[in-house]
Structure 1
């Protein structure tokens, strides 16, 4: 099955340790991971941020006063997916270490996860929706050569 067309903007904010995150996120890999999760052509901006920006965005848009791993801002789902994915580097690094994953492995998972959200997938609506989304993420990631991100 041919992959969808992706127009990608990859941005890195200024924060301590940014070089390590840049190294884990070469543009061609980010594009590959996202394209495998797309059902339609897309225009997506990926922004890697520090703790302060991540917390501020989560507080302003979700009324949750902490930095989270990925925020998805979806603007259109048809005819072209249009979205911003904001990933908080310190949170991603902390979670990767806790889960014994490389930064690249965890970023791949979160980019697939955020891309599915941008297309209307939601794991917070019901347990069944969560299970379906997790299974789909796992299938996509296995196809990319990654292990099940939800395996204990």
Structure 2
């Protein structure tokens, strides 16, 4: 999130969230606050998730804003362009460990696959055993879905 500040040339009344145009904003604004009698206003901006856009703006419809003399503003005022990139571009990584690394005939061991973040859709088809000389039993995740274990049986 970030704070958006609206600065008027003089104190205004009637400024409300429905005067703010967020059509090209890729986000939402929280409650408006002024601490200086209505000349400067601020609100917390929360960007829309999973967006990558460098041409965002926030506008104010000045017709809903009046000065001390009761005159309404005219037209719109628009912010400079800003970018929003809320995509999750980090891919999960995994570390694979075996409880026993020197197996003999008839032994099995537990294989642990620990991910750096929770994962979904992980199953036996994702495990490559080409050079493993063995088979892997059913994968079982922990509650957080960050640690998956299975029994490895050597050939």
Q: TM-score, normalised by structure 2?
A: 0.23
Greater fraction of residues in helix: 1
Say which structure, 1 or 2, has more relative contact order (CA 8 Å, 6+ apart). Answer: 1
Q: TM-score, normalised by structure 1?
A: 0.23
Greater fraction of residues in strand: 2
